[in-house]
Amino acid sequence: MSGVRVLVGTRKGAFILTSNEKRKRWKVSGPHFAGWEIYHINGSPADPDRLYASQSNGWFGQIIQRSSNGGQTWETPGGGPEQGPDGMPRGESNKFVYEGEVGTHQWYDGTQHPWEFKRVWQLKPSLTDPDTVYAGVEDAALFKSIDGGHSWHELAGLRKVKGDQWMPGAGGMCLHTILLDHTNPDRIFVAISAAGAFRTDDGGQTWRAINNGLKSAYELPEATPEVGHCVHNLAMHPSRPNVLFMQKHWDVNRSDDAGDSWHEVSGNLPTDFGFPIGVHAHEPETIYVVPIKSDSEHYPPDGKLRVYRSRSGGNEWEALTKGLPQKDCYVNVLRSALAVDSLDSCGIYFGTTGGQVYASADSGDSWSAIVHDLPPVLSVEVQTLP
C-alpha cells in the first residue's frame, strides 16, 4: 500500500511524519539534529530513501546531511576536520565556494557589499539521479553536487545577470526556490529575494532574468526593472513546465510562456501578500496560496487561518477553512512550508511558525493538524511512497 512521508524542517530540528494512503494516522520521527536549524529537508524523486537536509548553526556553520534509508540514519558527505556535539562535523565539511569574480551586490541604501556565503535555503534533488542535487544559498547563488553532497560547484553564470543590482529582502538575499523542468533536463528556474526570477535553458551555463510584466512600484524606484523584484516563491505543474505561478511581495502572478511575460492573478484574494504557493498534483489549473495581512504584519487577516484555492489558474479564489482556526490565530506560513502529494486524492500540507503541521487529504476541502507544538516550521516537503 502506498503512503506519504512528510519532511518538516524547523528552528530546532527536523521531523519526519509518515502515514498510509488514507493519511488519517501519523507516525512522528524526530527531532533529527535536535537544537539545530534545519532550513530545508527534501527527498530524491529518483530514490525515496535518499534525503538531504540543510543544517545550520551560528557556532558550527552550515552542514549538509544525507540519508540513504529514509531518515533512519544520517551521514555528512565528505566528513569534517573537527567534531561538534553528538559527533556532528563543524562547518568546514561540504564547503560551498563562490567561483570566478565574486564582486559585490547592492544594499538598500545603495552601498555595495561583498558576496558572503551564509546558509543553504533550499535543496532540490535531481529528478533522475539521487546523487545529483542543487542548492540555493544566501548570499544568492546556485550550487550543484553530482556526488551526493560531497563536493559542490557554483553555476556562476547566474550571478552575471546584473548581480551587482540584487538586494536582500527582509530575510536576506537568498536563492530560495528551484524548479526543474520534467520535460527538459537543461531548463531550471530559480527565484531570488530580492532580485526576481531567472531561467537557464542550457543546464546552468547561461541565465537570463524573466521578470517582464512584474510590477514593484512600492519596493523599487522604477516600477518595472529587469531585476530587483522581491519574488517570494514559484510553482509549476510537472505536465506544463511553461506555465508558472508566482507569489510576489505584493501580488500573485502567472506566466504561460516559461516566464517570458507575467500577468497578475490576485483577483479576489483578501490580501495579495504571502509566501508559499503550490499546484494541485492532478489539476494544473488548481493553485493554493496562504495570504497574510501585510509585509509588516505577518499573520492571517482578521486572525483567521485560511488557505485560498483557485480552480481557474488565478483571479477567482475561494477560502478553505474547515478544520483551520478561525479566531485569534496569528501564525505565519513561510515560503517553503507548503507541499503537495501525488496520491489519487491529492493531499496538501503546510506548517506554521506556531509549530503546527496541517494536512488535507481531499485537495483542501477539510484540514486537520497532524502534529502540534513543534518548533517554528521553516519548510515542508512531501514524498509519495510506493
pTM assigned to the model:
0.94
Q: What is the pLDDT along the chain (386 residues), one digit of tens a residue?
A: 589 999 999 999 999 999 999 999 999 999 999 999 999 999 999 999 999 999 987 777 888 999 999 999 999 986 543 443 343 334 455 678 888 666 888 887 778 888 888 899 999 999 999 999 999 999 999 999 999 999 899 999 999 999 999 989 888 899 999 999 999 999 999 999 989 999 999 999 999 999 999 988 665 556 578 898 999 999 999 999 999 999 999 899 999 999 999 999 999 999 999 999 999 999 999 999 999 999 899 999 999 999 999 999 999 999 999 999 999 999 999 999 999 999 999 999 999 999 999 999 999 999 999 999 999 999 999 999 98
Residue with grid cell 540513504, as numbered in its chain: 68
Q: pLDDT digits over 117-167, tens only? A: 889 999 999 999 999 999 999 999 999 999 999 989 999 999 999 999 998
How far apart are alpha carbons 310 and 39 in whole angstroms?
A: 28
CA atoms of 347 and 361, how far apart (whole Å)? 4
DSSP secondary structure letters along 94-162: T-----S---EEE-TTS-EEE----EEEEEEE-SS-TT-EEEEEETTEEEEESSTTSS-EE-GGGGGTT
Q: Which CATH architecture has domain 3-96+104-385?
A: 7 Propeller (2.130)
DSSP 33-90: TTTSEEEEEEE-SS-TT-EEEEEEETTTEEEEEEESSTTSS-B-TT--SSB-GGG-B-
**Is-contact 139 118, C-beta < 8 A?**
yes
State the Cα–Cα distance between residues 271 and 250, nearest whole angstrom.
8
292 touches 306 (CB < 8 A): no
Burial of 29 (0-12, 13-18, 19+ CB in 10 A): middle
What number of residues does the chain have? 386
Q: Strand, coil or helix: what is 252?
A: strand
**Are 178 and 161 within 8 A, CB to CB?**
no
